[in-house]
Amino acid sequence: MLKSTEPVQFEPQFVAALREVFEQRIAFNQVLGLKITDVAPQLVQGRIAMRPELIGHAAYERIHGGVISAALDSMGGLAVMAAICAKHMDDAPLQRLHRFSRLGTIDLRVDYLRPGIGKEFLLRAEVLRLGSRVANTRMEFLAADGTLLSTGTAAYIVS
């Protein structure tokens, strides 16, 4: 039997459950205020609203570099989750969410290109390679108008 070439579409139930885990059960994502805006097997997107607690430079009200790196890392992990789930569409939606107990960051690089000044920031992440033990991702941290502020690459253990 030939595999379908149709793009994978996640069920609304799965996306809602993934959003609930990512936004509510991961306490640090709550601290960051990280929200998922789109989940697809090839690309995940999110946003962060600026708050006083996230300021890293008081005079300019820039977002802290640690917030940027943590948000990029979280989004990279989410991209890996989505890619893994796309490979297991035969599993029930909620069963797919239980595949991540051993997902963890093993390497992270962030390049800060421009100051993070604004009321809201956008994030994107995609998986470059999904192996049997390691996944590699590329992430972007953008201003609300789409200006690229920071980029990241990461490796995650997936076995």
Q: What pLDDT is stored for residue 5 in this prediction?
A: 55
Question: pTM of the predicted model, to two decimals?
Answer: 0.92
Instruction: Supply the DSSP symbol for 146.
Output: S
What pLDDT, in 10s, does the model give residues 106-147?
Answer: 999 999 999 999 999 999 999 999 999 999 999 999 999 999
Q: What pLDDT is stored for residue 24 in this prediction?
A: 94
What pLDDT, in 10s, does the model give residues 12-40?
Answer: 999 999 999 999 999 999 999 999 999 99
What pLDDT, in 10s, does the model give residues 35-62?
Answer: 999 999 989 999 999 999 999 988 888 9
Assess contact for 148 and 113: CB atoms under 8 A.
yes
The DSSP annotation for 30-89 comes to: HHHT-EEEEE-SS-EEEEEE--GGGEEETTTTEEPHHHHHHHHHHHHHHHHHHHHHHHTT
> Which pair of structure tokens corresponds to residue 120?
């809201």
Q: What is the mean pLDDT of the chain?
A: 92
> How many angstroms separate the CA atoms of 105 and 127, rounded?
13
CB-count exposure of residue 100 (10 Å: 0-12, 13-18, 19+)? middle
